[in-house]
Chains A and B, each alone.
Chain A
């Protein structure tokens, strides 16, 4: 049982390059989300998904795209990387959304991906 798996762990990009951060979970969780973490800013929600085929924007969505073609996978795409996107990115999943049961909102996080844009 791997939980939430993120790849790559480290990546260096040049401004304007594109890349995809991969995220996969094997817990059959409906809800998946992407956060970025910057010093002094805490964790900020980028995009989230409440189920396969459904995605929505979080607090800081600009510059990022997501898709959810399967329950297991939730990749985050940077179309044209900028230095402001240098950050640590965390993917997370939880059991179910919309139930009104707070326990279903307990997040399991991946190990994180450290991205540097030069």
Chain B
């Protein structure tokens, strides 16, 4: 079976850095994905990792350790518009994408 864990809620201050962790257990692995979802909207793709290491895309970075079943999403220079839910998802070798329950991030001025 598959299990994906991430914190339910986090808070941070505008301009700060926040790290959202995700741990997973899957049968087979074909990539880990991060999506952003603002309240009342559809999820939108942020980043993905297939190999171990850090992927950087502007203010957002994502890290993967396959041996530890661990990933994190790093958000730098936080802005109010970053208040959203962040969804960790894992693609198994059957190509199904399974999502964690999401982390709701609130950014305060």
Contact = CB atoms under 8 A, between A and B. Distances in A.
- Place the interface of chain A in its size category: 20 to 34
B30 A102 contact: yes
Given A42-B102, A43-B87, A100-B30, A105 B43 contact: no
A42 B99 contact: yes
Interface string A40-63: 111111001010000000110000
A56 to B, nearest CB: 8
Given A100-B30, A102-B91, A45 B97 contact: yes
Contacts of B21: none
Nearest to B44: A109
A33 interface: yes
Q: Chain B, interface size: which category?
A: 20 to 34
Contact of B98 (A50, A59, A97, A103): A59
Nearest to A90: B42
A21 to B, nearest CB: 14
Given A42-B101, A45-B97, A45-B98, A112 B91 contact: no
Contacts, number: 59
A interface, by DSSP: helix, strand, loop or mixed?
mixed
A89 B87 CA distance: 16
A107 interface: yes
B72 interface: no
A114 to B, nearest CB: 9
B7 interface: no
Interface of A: 31, 33, 35, 40-45, 48, 50, 58-59, 90, 97-98, 100, 102-103, 105-112
Interface of B: 30-31, 33, 35, 41-45, 48, 50, 87, 89, 91, 95-102
